[in-house]
Structure 1
């Protein structure tokens, strides 16, 4: 009887999340419709780049943000410099970049973005896009976003993808990123729901961003922005064909810190947003309800470890009762197969999978170390991995 009770508890805790992932992974296989008509006018853009101790990468990111097929007088690039070295600041000042220096006792991305918005002021632009200090964008990045926002879109997430797969951890991190893109962005949009935000490569109507960014107070500002948008019934689109390159973590320690920050952000976002659930249900706000369900999902690394382990245990203890778990395991395998792009399924991934047990144990440890992470920024170091070699071409 005790075994049966535990078994059905785990069906709810693990089986239902697997079914959720499978459904959206299946619909992610639809070709995304992200073609927007050419813009009738050119909007004013500002690109914000929060840079906390990002000396190794921020200059290259600023260069890519500047090098756009878009009128320079309609696009401002602002680096929010938090504890950058003097040499890095000098390198940035030699380029047409605006620098906003900040000094916080406890740094966070939300604080940096709020300070920049207050410095720029209301009406500084028509649209804002946010990049991490290690991101690289293509030359048509702002032009594509201009088409999007001229069409009346108010919030958009671009396709963030890996620029490096140079270690086993980076390969797994890159694969996880693409699975998230498929399930929580492309699959959701295919079913008429909003895309999830991811912290960078995202863009908003500037007046909305200016009015709402100061309401973000935790280290999970992207989750807070999502909740604000969905409560206001603002749809978040997804531009699958517009790629933003992002540096993937290379070491297990960095993976541990990054996932700890992400899990904590999801937990605190759920705790803050769940109070709005009854009103969202009564108002028929399906987007908001789905977001709360999404934030209830256990980390995928836990599913990859616990579902196979429990399936084998139930097979030994209760073969008849294990059938549902073999179905669950099969659905999980299909969900990952549907969601993972063919380009990621290579020999590198096969070799990297040997690190899954270690990453699973790190994830389990993270679940017990969330205390004190609500407002404290857990920094992920950057190395510039995957950055292209410098080119001998004039700076814009």
Structure 2
């Protein structure tokens, strides 16, 4: 096989998944422009909520979240707050213990958000009855009307899950602003765009509401060390449960201010997507045969290239190919423009500031870092898969 055949194979093997991903992004970015939902009407009854806040070494930000929840306009008799303080200081725990919340202090050898949520559910008093559970991250800030609006959305949706809109609470650095832009693109493409054509929204890590009975049963089946939301999402799709999205209910989320922190978080997210892809791709033929469109969409979504990794490959191929075989580069330039168009459509106006151009000077550093994290996550995922196969074979023998 000569050099040109090898080049053609590499070119198309990379191009096809990139083209599918870019087209997918553009389609849902345009769909997000139409059919905006009206705010949910006033609920006829008040649901009883349990608000769980897992906090791992977040001594500085946990009080912001707790104080905004305790300052709700929703009747205080209708909600309880549980903070799972994992590896936080004694001083932080002493201050939290003085607040009208339930404080849990587990001592996990290996911490994860899933473990914290499971610990919270296990340690709830048996006599307490709740209609729904809301999960927030330490550092999240919500409006005083948050629980009231979530109650309205929960009753109006008529489903077991509602995802609120996470937005940035800090725009102090270029990396934080880029992270905020990526978050809003996700809101447009994977939530508002999906809802507009009748597909389930995607869960976003925090700021989500679950029917309590469903959550209590299914959270115990989660094993992921980084992203419990993806595993819960897979369970919901498998059971045909619709995920609604409340675009007008804001959860202000603290964004990574440094490139190293951003890339580390991105690496965890990429690994979790690969994990979900490997674990659930076997259900794709059945989903297609049974026309389960939500499940098909979710499985295709997880098999696509992460956006920053895609941008890295498009940039590299667009710059290298003109010097090797000019005509091969044309299609890469076309889909580079398509990707930029999708991202620009999905980015809200409030994030297009005077620092816009300066922020995007950091984009190459983000894409390179994401590419490195993608390779690490892929190697880790393959290693875990091989170990699982060996374990099953040993068990059979």
8 A contact 1:270–1:292 mirrored in 2:
yes
Give how far 1:153 is off.
2.5
- Corresponding residue number in structure 1 for 2:169: 163
CA distance in 1, matches of 2:239, 2:310: 32
Q: Shift of the alpha carbon at 1:372?
A: 5.7
**Which residue in 2 is equivalent to 1:270?**
277
2:164 matches 1:142: no
1:99 and 1:124 map into 2 onto residues whose CA distance is 18
Structure 2 CA distance for aligned equivalents of residues 350 and 241 of structure 1: 29
- Structure 1 counterpart of 2:246, from 233, 239, 244: 239
1:273/1:34 CA distance change after superposition, 3 Å: farther
Instruction: Look up the match of 2:303.
Output: 296
User: Given the superposition, is the C-alpha separation of residues 201 and 274 from structure 1 closer, same or farther in structure 2, using an over 3 Å criterion?
Assistant: same
Shift of 1:37: 2.1
- Which position in structure 1 is the counterpart of 2:388? none
| Displacement of 1:329 | 1.6
Q: Give 1:121 deviation, angstroms.
A: 5.4
1:177 pairs, out of 163, 179, 183, with 183
Query: In the alignment, which residue of structure 2 is the partner of 1:358?
Result: 365
TM-score by length of structure 1 reads: 0.91
Native 8 Å contact 1:34 1:238 kept in 2: no
CA drift of 1:314 comes to 3.3
- Deviation at 1:34? 4.3
Higher helix share: 2
Cα distance change on mapping 1:193 and 1:288 into 2, 3 Å: same
- When structure 1 is superposed on structure 2, of 363-372 and 69-78 the one drifting more is 363-372
Provide the rounded CA distance (Å) in 2 between the counterparts of 1:33 and 1:363. 34
| CA contact 1:196–1:226 (8 Å) conserved in 2 | yes
- Between the two structures, name the one with larger relative contact order (CA 8 Å, sep ≥ 6): 1
Q: Which portions of structure 1, spanning 4 or more consecutive aligned residues, are displaced by more than 6 angstroms?
A: none
Aligned length: 375
Question: How far apart are the structure 1 equivalents of 2:237 and 2:153?
Answer: 19
| Cα deviations by residue, 1:142-169 (Å, 9 ceiling, x for unpaired) | 1011112223221011000000011111
Maintained 8 Å contact 2:160/2:241? yes
Q: Which 5+ residue runs of structure 2 have no aligned equivalent?
A: 385-397
Separation (CA, whole Å) in 2 of partners of 1:136 and 1:178 = 17
| Match of residue 45, structure 2, among 41, 55, 64 | 41
Is the counterpart of residue 115 in structure 1 residue 125 in structure 2? no
**Aligned runs of 1:75-114 on 2, under 5 Å?**
75-114=79-118
Could you state the TM-score of these two structures normalised by the residue count of structure 2?
0.90
Query: How well do the aligned residues superpose, as a CA RMSD in angstroms?
Result: 1.8
1:134 CA drift (Å) = 0.7
The answer (yes or no) to whether the contact 2:53–2:138 under 8 Å persists in 1 is yes
Partner of 1:389: none
Unmatched tracts of structure 1, length 5 or more: 377-396
Aligned to 1:390: none
Identify if the C-alpha distance between structure 1 residues 373 and 53 changes in structure 2 by more than 3 Å, giving closer, same or farther: farther
